[in-house]
Amino acid sequence: MGLVARRTQRVLSPSLYVTAIEPHSGKSVVALGLMEILSTRVQRVGFYRPIVASSSQADPQIELIRRRYRLETDYDEMHGLSDEEGQAAIASGIFDQVEKRVVSTFRALDQRCDVVVCEGTDFAGSTPALDFDLNAGLASLLDTPVLVVVTGDETREIVKSARVAHQSLERKGCTLFGVIANRVTPALVDEVAAALAARFGERPVYVLPEQPELARLTMDDVAAAVGARTDGGAADGLHREVRDVVVAAMSVEHFIEGLVEGALVIVSGDRPDIVMTSVAATASAELPAVAGIVLTGGYEIAPALRRLAEDAPFPVLEASGDTYHVANAVNSLRPVLAPDNERRIATALGLFQSRVDASEIERHIALERPARMTPLMFEYELIERAKESRQHIVLPEGNDERVLRAAEILQRRGVVELTLLGRAAEVRTRSAALGLDLADAVVIDPLDSPLRTEYAHAYYELRRHKGITEEAAFDMLGDVSYFGTMMVHRQAVDGMVSGAAHTTGDTIRPALEIVRAVEGVSVVSSVFLMCLADRVVVYGDCAVNPQPTVEQLADIAISSAATAETFGVEPRVAMLSYSTGDSGRGERVEAVRLATELVRERRPDLKVDGPIQYDAAVDAAVAKLKLPASEVAGRATVFIFPDLDTGNIAYKAVQRSANAVAIGPVLQGLRRPVNDLSRGCTVADVVNTVAITAIQAHYAEAG
């Protein structure tokens, strides 16, 4: 049953309706990619689905979008009705009630947003009425232009699908925004792009190649499909990709012969030999690593086998069904973009961003850029800017799980080239055990690398005036921190990120000895990029220098201003104290005053004021009372704290109390970038710090 287009006179937000002409076209990847673009360009972005599959289970795509983009809208505000409700309305002949509900829920969301992405209905499992014609009618009803997603195995087939979709949209009175051909055979990408451009060239047209990783199931998908318990093995590895399915109904010998990397093993629960062999294979550097096991039949697991399963380096699931039915259930599965599967999300975004011109999408939607920057916008800009110059970063902690997971995400999104340090076999085995694909990363073991002798000699030449011997230099270069820093110094890589498993001293000491400070800078310091709700500011120094001298404080201010500029923050520097202007006296106030004067002497072009209290630096009303003539007061973007105690306490207080995102510490003043991680860092922290290091490396290279 079609919908009648009823155009409203109200001018709606520049929303976009994403729909596919057939099932399994990957429109969810396209919708996610659009949200990534738009969420970094407007402050209030919305997501809407007119019809979802179920009224009892949350729609996974809505949940993904809500969580990833930190949307404040409730789940019920992001969809119209369920598939069951739509079918009941059709059967009762009251489909106009469905139309009213879709329009009312969409408009309520639209009025609160600058732009809304609507993702059309799913085909799989829907009635024949819920087809492309329905989506065209819904788009017309909502008065939104349509981005059509098509797929196919041949160029002619893909172009025909796009043409049919365009004709259907025109009949419904819809506007075609553009066409994305997805899941295209890589060899046909250029041919399909040319053919679609010839037909729809005045509109955005993009072609995304088939990406095998997005078509793979995860152990999470398997567990949900077969109703399996996940209390055995590495339950935290449920995001492992399944690259093959092996039904182990054969002897161990033949099972090993047919095993491939990333296999899901489906086996009867009374086959402990297969379980033991899978564990042994995954722990070996020579045999394929298993993604997980499903034990079928509902058998009572023997205590010895259960202990083995609990210690397995992969998830071990238990299903009550027999092997045949479990295997059939797995084979009928379709992967989804789960909210907490960062690996699949990174793959999807890497694919989308590599083929879609974000600026063209922005121009066609005619968005107005907001004056202020949200944390999400800033983090997106970091990744995009890092990708532009594709720097090479070394990560010395190649055995740390967070570092390995971050490395895979960085590779999947195409952010940087990576070198990992550590014993190659251990790094590869650890990666395989975690279900990670790091085949494109270079792995170097400093202990047996042919570069160790060369680097040791270079270190000896740098430090022999300090009494270092050649033998000691050789020993030092077996340490991953020293080896990685020497790689930066010798320009084998562009930058280094360490600290997940090492202290700040372990990271900074080699940098000071080998890379050294920029000429004219008396001290290496740090800043945190503080992502507040509506802007990004810079705090320094909050991590390195306990009690800076006047000259060091001035250097920290100048370096922090330069860092701010590097990351798109206009520097207006506030030299903080417990006193503003001439209102107070004291040793530390005087030090801040002298440092401020020194900054003005060295950088007369820089907007700087101090001593100034924090409230006068950020609040225009307070600034008007205390420093009415200041260019900085009330508008500060760079905050220089008088000592480490103050800076460290302040950044953590703001981070926790204001729910701010604190990115850093970012080291500054070095000739080439080396950055430190907190030992409590998350995977996201590693990703952001690598992106920052890549941007610094680009500027160091250009300068």
- Give residue-wise pLDDT tens across range 53-73: 888 888 989 999 999 988 989
pLDDT value for 368:
59
Strand order in the sheet with 176-184: 79-82, 45-52, 115-119, 16-20, 146-150, 176-184, 205-209
Dump the DSSP string for 404-462: HHHHHHHHHTT--EEEEES-HHHHHHHHHHTT---TTSEEE-TTT-THHHHHHHHHHHH
pLDDT value for 27:
92
* Distance between CA atoms of residues 201 and 261, nearest Å: 43
What is the topology classification, in CATH, of domain 525-667? Rossmann fold (3.40.50)
- Listed as ranges, residues in the chain with pLDDT below 70 are 1-13, 90-91, 93-95, 123-130, 229-236, 366-373, 584, 702-703
The crossing angle, in degrees rounded to 10, of helices 27-39 and 60-68 is 20
pLDDT value for 6:
34
* Distance between CA atoms of residues 357 and 390, nearest Å: 18
* Distance between CA atoms of residues 41 and 324, nearest Å: 50
Q: CATH number of the domain at 217-331, out of 3.30.230.70, 3.40.50.970, 3.40.1390.20, 3.40.50.1100? A: 3.40.1390.20
pLDDT value for 236:
60
For the domain covering 373-515, report its CATH number: 3.40.50.10950
The answer to whether the CB of 466 falls within 8 A of the CB of 445 is no
* Distance between CA atoms of residues 471 and 489, nearest Å: 20
The domains spanning 16-212 and 217-331 adopt the same CATH topology: no
Q: Which helix (H) or strand (E) holds 472?
A: helix 470-476
pLDDT value for 235:
55
Domain ranges of the chain: 16-212, 217-331, 373-515, 525-667
The answer to whether the CB of 99 falls within 8 A of the CB of 141 is yes
Percentage of the chain beyond pLDDT 70 is 94
pLDDT value for 5:
33
Q: Which CATH class is domain 16-212?
A: alpha beta
The answer to whether the CB of 132 falls within 8 A of the CB of 165 is yes
The crossing angle, in degrees rounded to 10, of helices 155-171 and 132-142 is 50
In terms of Cβ atoms closer than 10 Å to its own Cβ (0-12, 13-18, 19+), residue 244 is middle
What three-state secondary structure class fits 240?
A: coil
State the pTM of this model: 0.77
Tally of CA atoms within 13 A in the half-sphere of 185 that contains its CB: 9
